[in-house]
Structures are given as C-alpha cells and as structure tokens.
Amino acid sequence: MNGSPAAKRRLLALLALLAVFAIACDTGPQDFLKSQASVQTQKADSLWDVTFAIAVFIFVVVEGLIIYALIRFRQRPGREAAQFHGNTKVEIILTVIPSLILAGLAVPTVQTIFENSKQPPDALRIQVVAKQFWWEFNYPDLGIVTANELHLPVDQTAYIEITSPTNDVIHSFWVPRLTGAQDAVPGRTNTTVITPTATGQFWGQCKEFCGLSHSRMRLRVFVEDRSTFDQWVADQGEEAAEPTDSLAQQGQELFVNGQCAACHTISGTNAAGTTGPNLTHLMSRRTFAGAIFRMNEGNLRDWVADAPAMKPGSIMPSGLKSMGLSQSDVDAIVAYLLTLE
C-alpha cells in the first residue's frame, strides 16, 4: 500500500466504518423491522411507519428552509443583515404545529398501549417470572410450569403477566418479533398480550441490566399449530418417568434425597423446590440455563459439576466444590436428568 501513514490510517478508518454499516444492515434472529410475527408488533410497526414518515417530512422541510436561507440571505458586498428581535407570529406557529403533531401521534400510541394490556376473554393466561438469570413460565389454567422456553399456539392471544420475586432485581421481558419490552419489577405485575400470526421459533432476552449474566438471560418462544401445542400440553402434564437404568436410579436417589430437591421440582417425586427451574420434563427442552446452552449430556455434566464457572453470577452452586459431590455422583445425576423427557 503506497501513500503516507496518515492516508493509510484514513483508509483503514473508512474500511472500519463501512464494516460497521454492513453489520448494521444484517438481519438477525431478533430483527423485527421486516418480519413481525404477531398482531401487536404489526400494529407497532404501522405506528412506527407513520411516525417515521412525519419525521422525514419535517427533516426535509427544515433542512430545505435552512439551505434556502443560506443561499437567499448569504453575505454580499454592501449588504448589511437585518437586525430584529423575536417574531411572535412565527414563534406561535412553531409551537402550535409540533404540539398538534405530537397530540396526533399520542392518540394511536396510547390506544395501542392500552390494547396491549387488556385481557381478552378467551386468552391463554401465562405467568412469566424473571429470575437471575433465567425465566419461569407458568400456565396456571393448564397446570404447567416450565423454564426458558415458552410455547404458544398460533392465532390465539396469550395474556402475559410479568413479574420478578421480591428478593430479585428488575428484569425486562422482550421478544422483538412478538412483543415490545415489558419490565419485570419485583413484587409488581405488568401485563402484555401476544397474538402470534406465524409459527416458528422466536428469540428473546432480558433487556434490563440485571447483573453479571444479564447478556446470558435469554429465552425462546415456540409458536406452534394447535395440534402440536395440545400435544405439548399433554406431555407436560404427565409425571416424570421412573428410571430403569441402575446409574440413573442412583442419580435419582442423590437428587431427591440431596440438596437438589431443595431448589428444583420433579413431579412424581418429593423434589418440590421452587428456587430453580422445574425439571420434570427437562429433556423436552432444547436449551437450559437461560436458553444459552444446548441441551445435551456434555453441557449438563459441566453444569452440574460447576455451574458458576459456566455462567457467572448463577445461584446454582458448584456440585464438585460446594455440594460435596464426586465426579461419579455428577455422572449419576446427569444420567437421571437425561431420563426426564
């Protein structure tokens, strides 16, 4: 590369800037500008389109007037700029017009906000509890409690009640393609509604900084057709199957008679803790620990052995360092967890 060092630096800076613009143009799993998947995000997008069009129009008019003034009233030999103070008529116009625009935008905005907080009579009720650093999903009318992966039927409205335990911190429930962000405030319940219009898998995450693993507090929403959703409901309603393998049976004994049962629930056993996720049908999920790790034997073994090493700030203690488990105990517990389908 020829040229001075300064020219090289400018070229590198330009290339870096172009790379940033290229990245910004990419579409990711949480992009919602071109792929809304619910009635609520479609309404929000329509409101955004109107607001953006008005903003562009105002920008063009204002910048055009500035350019016109710069040319029309530019400095010329023998010409002195007019001296004046204030113009009441112009000031009133510049106050009234923005006020009318904002008032006009406020009406559909407030209407949309209130519509997104009402509970329709036939809605599927879901309680979302945000915890450091994972999500609990409770379907009170269906008797289902699960974690990190939310299942919804397509074309049916879900009424979402969002909160956080009183001893936790503020989180924010956000699934961009399905709904806007809604805070999860300790001791308080906020609500929103989701009416999915397309099946598929949708990514979400906590949008409020909540601690060391804030960026690792994610979730997935699976929107399914009615028959698939009904089958999932039926499967989730069953108790955990009894293990038949000797190693898994040993793991069950360690789990239900040890510290694990104090934090986790497994239906059909005496494990009834609520501090951690319900594990009754753990292996029906594709991810765990805030939807950041794939559900497989290797990841589960590493997690049980030393969860804080995998996810900083996790209240799940290290099995090897804090709970007094041996590596063979970890293997047995994992063998049991693998049977929880």
Does residue 340 carry a pLDDT above 80?
A: yes
Between 8-17, 38-47, 214-223, the lowest mean confidence (pLDDT) is in 8-17
What confidence score (pLDDT) does residue 12 get?
84
pLDDT of residue 282: 96
What's residue 100's pLDDT?
Answer: 93
Rounded-to-10 torsion of CA 275, 280, 281, 287: 20
**213 and 258, same domain (yes or no):** no
Q: How far apart are CA 126 and CA 138, in angstroms?
A: 6
**What tens digit of pLDDT does each residue of 286-312 get?**
999 999 999 999 999 999 999 999 999
User: Average pLDDT of the chain?
Assistant: 91
Provide the pLDDT for residue 112.
86
Tell me, yes or no, whether 260 and 213 share the same domain. no
Among candidate residues 139, 142, 140, 161, the one with its CA nearest the CA of residue 150 = 139
Mean pLDDT, residues 139-158 taken together: 97
Q: Is residue 43 part of a domain?
A: yes
pLDDT band at residue 94 under the 50/70/90 scheme: confident
| Residue 180: other Cβ atoms inside 10 A | 17
Q: End of a domain among 237, 272, 292?
A: 237
CB 127 within 8 A of CB 140: yes
Q: What is the pLDDT of residue 119?
A: 86
Is the per-residue pLDDT at 72 higher than 80?
yes
What pLDDT sits at residue 29? 66
**Residue 299 belongs to domain with CATH number:** 2.60.40.420
Q: Can you read off the two tokens belonging to residue 142? A: 């269906």
**9 domain residue, yes or no:** no
Nearest to 334 by CA among 297, 291, 282: 297
Q: Same domain for 232 and 277? A: no
Tokens of 114: 């209130």
220 and 192 Cβ atoms separated by less than 8 Å: no
Give how far Cα 104 sits from Cα of 134, 180, 295, Å: 40, 22, 49
Residues 227 and 108 in one domain: yes
Domain of residue 304: give its range: 246-337
The pTM assigned to this predicted structure is 0.84
Q: Is the pLDDT of residue 1 over 80?
A: no
Mean pLDDT computed over 168-173: 96
The number of beta carbons lying within 10 Å of the beta carbon of residue 249 is 16
Question: Has residue 28 got a pLDDT over 70?
Answer: no
Q: How many domains does the chain have?
A: 2
| pLDDT, position 23 | 65
Q: Are 42 and 133 in a shared domain?
A: yes
Contact indicator for 182, 107 with CB cutoff of 8 Å: no
pLDDT band at 13 (very low <50, low <70, confident <90, very high): confident
Instruction: Tell me the mean pLDDT in the region 146-150.
Output: 97
- The more confidently predicted of residues 12 and 21 is 12
Task: Check residue 149 and give its pLDDT.
Answer: 97
Confidence bin at 137 (pLDDT 50/70/90)? very high
Per the model's pLDDT, the better-predicted residue between 12 and 251 turns out to be 251
The strand pairing partners of 205, in sequence order, are: 174, 218
- 50 lies in the same domain as 190: yes
| For residues 23-50, average pLDDT | 79
Q: What is the mean pLDDT of residues 116-128?
A: 91
Residues 53 and 142 in one domain: yes
Mean pLDDT of 47-74: 92
Q: Helix crossing, 327-337 with 297-310: angle to 10°?
A: 120
- Where does the pLDDT of residue 283 fall: very low under 50, low under 70, confident under 90, or very high at 90 and above? very high
Domain boundary among 220, 237, 254: 237
For the chain, first and last CA: distance in Å? 60
Q: Which residues, 6 or more positions from 327, have their beta carbon under 8 angstroms from its beta carbon?
A: 305, 320
